[in-house]
Structure 1
Amino acid sequence: MTTRTPESTPASSTDAPDPADDPLFVASLEKGMRVLEAFRDAADSLGLTEIAALTGLGKSAAQRFVHTWERLGYLAKDAATRRYRLGPRVVELGYFFLRTDRLVSMAAPHLVALRDRCGLAVHMSVLAGSDMIYLLRLPSRQLTLAEMLPGRRMPAWCNSGGRMLLTQLDDDAVRQAIQRTPPRAFTPRTVVEPGALLNLVRQARGDGYALTEDQVLQNQVGAAVLLRDARDVPLAAISVSAPRHDYALDRLQREIVPQLFRTAHAIQHG
């Protein structure tokens, strides 16, 4: 069975290029990638019929793409159930990126040091259309497996790192980002009203940092700042998440936000 969560986005990404605008765009490759992206929100395996429905492809076309990805090792088929899972080669692609990305290599030692100093979970994320993607996640002991893994994609409006990433956009672009990923509640306290979210992004833009409380998970708070390059151009957000019973927002602001600023400065000038 296919399960969608509040963080889900369609398999065909809203920020994908329009083939009509690009004569070099390979439409068949985009269709093939839809098959892999269909697994983004799958709780378990997917059958061929489900893949066809999620991608908008005909069953025959979906079957050809699925077979090709299986032969290449990017999908694995259960012979008994005839259902598919992502294969290990998908992880290998992520490793190639993380191993060679200059920002990751520059930031990682500083983020490890921050995690060791504060004992809390530390993350680095980048903007992808109207969403954010975690590049690095250094867990605390309390985090679940899903919260430890890099590569997770979430709506940018919903947490401290994403809101800081949105501060680099003007108000019209922030409104459009919120419209592209209509807010839905993760918890009873999740802010979902577009005007209120825009005001929170404006506040973060003015303050230079963002604070959140109970927005994605109950009893979790977060703080984030922007990471910039030597020319002061925003590159990513670095953030910390903590249990609310240990860190009220005033303590998070007083103790963690200054450490985030120092870490961002060290990475920028390192």
Structure 2
Amino acid sequence: MNVVETEKYTVNSLVRGLEILKLFNEETPTLSLLEISKSLGVSRTVPYRFLHTLQSMGYLDQDESTKRYSLTPKVLELGFAYLNSLNLPKIAQPYMEKLRDELDTSCHLSILDGQEVVYIGTAPVRHVSVINVNIGTRLPAQSLANGRVLLAFQPQERLEEKFIANQTMNFSSLQKELEKVRKQGYAISEGDFLPGVRSAAAPIFDHTGSVKAALNVVATELLLPEKLLIEKAVPKVIEVAAKLSEHLGYKK
């Protein structure tokens, strides 16, 4: 597309509105109408309409006494929309591969769908293929460390919708287990789903504080003895999950 075509499809009002938002920063957290017009190199009448629009949309606030404008938290949605549009498995892959190599365990990324865990990323250890999973694999959430992590940070009403009607399981017992996971911030499983297999999992949160996914490592008891699980695997999984949460805009 040449310069003429580019100018033809440029929406000047949108450009101007974005220019105004970009004027606010750490050094200039508030601006007056005069300061904005000077920065844009226009008369005061030009930015007034844009400021009114941005204020009505909730992106700007104006102090009634000083008449100065400032950004509102809603502006963060623009950045978080970008962050959330990123491919989490793609972001997580190098982290999972490093974790796999450090612990000599398979590493997986999963999300919750109903009462099942769905695997959306994986970094397998080749010599323990018996416990490796493929992307798209579904397994019962309540039986897995990563599943319990995902369940533990669900709203109570959603948990009840998922499980309370299930007459084949003890919902009260599950509740107690999930409360423990919430308090400690991670989950472990030792032969719960597959005999002789251990796993540690931690939650990944998005910018709203909602659990987005779970990160877990898994290996046989021989490769992941209990001491290694508790003293090394759990802290590393928590650390990496926290880094991935930061990528999604999460702040404690």
Q: What's the TM-score bracket when you normalise by the shorter of the two chains?
A: 0.5 to 0.7
> Max radius of gyration: which structure?
2
Q: Does 1:138 align with 2:123?
A: yes
Q: Does 1:242 align with 2:214?
A: no
Note closer, same or farther for the CA distance 1:219–1:233 as it changes in structure 2 (3 Å cut). same
Q: Kindly indicate whether the alpha-carbon contact (under 8 Å) linking 1:174 and 1:198 is maintained by their aligned counterparts in 2.
A: no
Distance 1:210 1:257 in 2: 8
Distance 2:172 2:210 in 1: 27
Q: Does 1:160 align with 2:158?
A: no
Distance 2:191 2:160 in 1: 22
Q: Kindly indicate whether the alpha-carbon contact (under 8 Å) linking 1:155 and 1:181 is maintained by their aligned counterparts in 2.
A: no
Question: Could you say what secondary structure the match of 1:212 adopts?
Answer: strand
Q: Does 1:252 align with 2:238?
A: no
* Post-superposition offset of 1:248: 3.6
Q: Kindly indicate whether the alpha-carbon contact (under 8 Å) linking 1:175 and 1:198 is maintained by their aligned counterparts in 2.
A: no
* Post-superposition offset of 1:101: 6.1
Q: Does 1:200 align with 2:177?
A: yes
Q: Deviations over 1:103-129 (max 9, x none)?
A: 111111111111111110101100112
Identity %: 23
Note closer, same or farther for the CA distance 1:250–1:179 as it changes in structure 2 (3 Å cut). farther
Q: Does 1:224 align with 2:205?
A: no
Q: Does 1:174 align with 2:151?
A: no
* Post-superposition offset of 1:196: 2.2
Q: TM-score normalised to the size of structure 2?
A: 0.58
Question: Could you say what secondary structure the match of 1:157 adopts?
Answer: helix
Question: Could you say what secondary structure the match of 2:128 adopts?
Answer: coil
Q: Show the counterpart of 1:215.
A: 192
* Post-superposition offset of 1:250: 4.2
Q: Show the counterpart of 1:187.
A: none
Q: Which amino acid aligns with 2:91?
A: M
Q: Show the counterpart of 2:102.
A: 117
Q: Kindly indicate whether the alpha-carbon contact (under 8 Å) linking 1:209 and 1:225 is maintained by their aligned counterparts in 2.
A: yes
Structure 2 spans left out of the alignment, 5+ residues: 1-84, 248-252
Distance 1:151 1:105 in 2: 15
* Post-superposition offset of 1:217: 0.8
Distance 2:232 2:104 in 1: 12
User: Relative to structure 2, which stretch is displaced further, 169-178 or 212-221?
Assistant: 169-178
Q: Kindly indicate whether the alpha-carbon contact (under 8 Å) linking 2:110 and 2:215 is maintained by their aligned counterparts in 1.
A: yes
Distance 1:213 1:182 in 2: 25
Note closer, same or farther for the CA distance 1:182–1:118 as it changes in structure 2 (3 Å cut). farther
Q: TM-score normalised to the size of structure 1?
A: 0.54
Distance 1:180 1:109 in 2: 40
Q: Kindly indicate whether the alpha-carbon contact (under 8 Å) linking 2:106 and 2:123 is maintained by their aligned counterparts in 1.
A: yes
User: Relative to structure 2, which stretch is displaced further, 157-166 or 223-232?
Assistant: 223-232
Note closer, same or farther for the CA distance 1:112–1:178 as it changes in structure 2 (3 Å cut). same
* Post-superposition offset of 1:230: 3.9
Structure 1 spans left out of the alignment, 5+ residues: 1-99, 184-191
* Post-superposition offset of 1:232: 3.3
Once superposed, what is the RMSD of the aligned Cα atoms? 2.3
Q: Deviations over 1:174-233 (max 9, x none)?
A: 3442346666xxxxxxxx543322211111011100011111111001110001224433
Distance 1:124 1:155 in 2: 15
Note closer, same or farther for the CA distance 1:102–1:218 as it changes in structure 2 (3 Å cut). same
Distance 2:171 2:226 in 1: 23
Note closer, same or farther for the CA distance 1:180–1:133 as it changes in structure 2 (3 Å cut). farther
